[in-house]
Structure 1
Amino acid sequence: MSASEGQRPFTLFEWMMAFRYLRSRRREAFISIISWLSFFGIMLGVATLIIVMAVMNGFRTELLDKILGINGHLVIQPIDKDFTDYKDMVTRIEGVDGVSFAIPFVEGQILASAAGGSSGALVRGMTEADIKKLNLVSQKVLQGSFDDFDDQEGIALGSRLARTLGVVAGDSVKLISPNGAVTPMGVAPRIKAYPVKAVFEIGMSEYDGTFIFMPLEHAQTYFNHDGKASAIEVYVDDPDAVGAIRPAIEEALGRQVYITDWRFRNVTFFSALEVERNLMFIILTLIILVAALNIISGLIMLVKDKGSDIAILRTMGATRSSIMRIFMITGAAIGFVGTMAGFALGLVVCLNIESIRQFVSWITSTELFSPELYFLSKLPAEMNFTETVSVLIIALLLSFLATLYPAWRAATLDPVEALRYE
């Protein structure tokens, strides 16, 4: 090797020497073990970080879809007088640019009772046409249907509520409201039995165990809201643009109303998710950092073991920069292969996360993702391109930085001292 050849960065010679040092020999078994530990550490760190972030992204997306799929992006409530002209108000709201549709409804809390048990529930009175606008409800029917819903005196239950009450489509459920008819003895509870016309499953346990849909006119009668709506839900094209659309809606209504958007109603919940997500990212990045420290220790031991080889290379004409690049390639190769292997592992797990959860639950006979605790009926995972690329860049950067000190030590090794006792 000529001196001029050694001046060119990342020559074939440097790559050859780097990969030669990566191959284990019997007397270098311990160094090889540290290299393998570094590889598996980076692989597991990258895979864990990708999986956890994907699950948290999926969890947030699923919750957001479920919450906004059954609750409006904006909720308009009366201040000065009741919504007796709600049909005209809906027409004016739907004329605002950016609004998909608006739904008037009557809502009230009741006690639902049947032969199988009883449970508190939330009754929401809506027309058949409006319910069918909510794909999360109308397209998730397990039993019965919403056909001719307005023309029949019946209700639709969430699947978990139906199981709690022990009913199916066609059975009868007794609804008990504390705000009934006013009598000389006070307000008497209103008790009425309704047939179950449909059973739906949104996929969010809190909603499936709470919601009851009733035809709007029957709900107005039941809750003493004849000719009135409790509130109006507004669904917009872009949920993140509710702040910009809100003034236009207020101007279209031309009256005093109280408007809340989905961000205000769920600010604590989604803020907690965001904080948890950021903290998990920082904590799990430490796994990659620990693996990078293993690269440092492995390379330092390799430099000490290869001291005589480095000295011989220096006497043959290899420059300090060439020696430094050899050991940088050695350590960076471990980090690169480990990062790519971690990405592949994380991708496979994310694509099969629900099957893996079910398998582990079957093996351990435990509920790993309880709907009662996590609101959702299955484990979601959604890989974000920018986030995944950030994880890969962080892993590669830490792996590269880990090679600098050991490579510098190898480059500054004095050939005379290294060969003195050989």
Structure 2
Amino acid sequence: MSAVDDRKPGGAPASTAASVVLERCDELATYTSLPGGLIERVYLSPQHAAVNSRTGQWMRAAGLTTWQDSAGNQCARLEGHRAGLPALLLASHLDTVPSAGRYDGILGVLIALAVAERINAGVAPADRPVALEVLAFGDEEGTRFGTTLLGSRAVAGTWDPDWWSLEDADGVTLHDAYLAFGLDPATVGDAARAPVELVGYLEAHIEQGPVLDEAGLPLGVVTSIAGARRFQIVVEGAAGHSGTPWARRRDALAGASEAVLAIERIARGEAGHSSGLIATVGHLAVFPDAVNVIAGRVEFSLDLRGEFDDARDAAWLGIKAAMTAMSERRGLRVTWQQTHSAPAAHCSERMRRVVAAGIRATERAGADPAAPPELFSMAGHDAMALAAVTEIGMLFVRCAGGVSHHPDESVTEADIARAVDALEASVLELFEQYRSEPGVEGTAS
């Protein structure tokens, strides 16, 4: 089926749907806490409330039943052939990093909504063997409270009560932010879905990498999502005058610099550890931070990711050993605290086949029948959280240069048209499977 095929069974043609999606991305970009056209929208903020409200209006206009759940996620549902059937979830997130682009997460929500609108218009209720839900998660990035996937973890039923004491930069706890947003912390568990309530999860997302762009391809199938561990690391020495002789120095910054280079070396596979890892030191603070004073303390972050948890964890053991040896040699003290841990999430074989079938359905007649490209995601996604409760699948959309988490995020209308078509075809493929599989819960009678 062509990306600009107007012969849809209902709903907007692909070209029109893509135009609406992009217009809505532009509109949601105006809901921001930053001046000068920059975008930042964090969990439980006034901007979060505003985008939930606006997205809810679009959901209702598409004929869906809407609600905001007990974790602040904006939700919508299209029933199947009868009320109460298990649901296929289509979802992504509406929150952003600071100085964000306008497509990371947001595009996935709006593509999902465009697909649900088409299904509602083009597939009779009697032909819907399961329900369809669109979820707009309130927190994937973790920008405000430092812990990612809060919205989707609530839906997956993996909420950690220890999170209530997390504080934002202004000292506001997550617990108090819930109250200020009009949510009841005691009911956060009501957002959780049981496995029997779901038939799967599909997420469209820009590729946060250049593979599709460099290959000249609009869409790809995600195979798995990297498992991530994050640490706060502190190197302590002794502050002193910059004239202190070399033999008397206990320079925390020099030690931290050596540790950062060791992290890079180990993650790149240059020290006997597995490759396929990514390690990022994105934050570093030096104390007392004076030009003529030896640093007495350095704090830095580590984000360690890998396709396989055992390789990632082996690299962390190597990093710890390297930092310990460095500290002993330099007379320093190194401590670390893990602040985040998420296992690698693998898209199920079934969902990978469904997404691939959806992509193939968008190809023009006579196109190369080669299988759609398969990609591993080093970036984390809400699908990781939902993997704890149902099968997951992901569709990657080409993003120019692979640029993400930056105002220069860029997609084309033609690619979005293909993505809407592909996700719709994936949903219809799942519908057909559930209609034809006897004994599968949700199958129409």
TM-score (norm 2): 0.19
Whose helix fraction is larger, Structure 1's or Structure 2's? 1
TM-score (norm 1): 0.20
Higher RCO structure, 1 or 2 (CA under 8 Å, sep 6+): 1
Larger Rg: 1
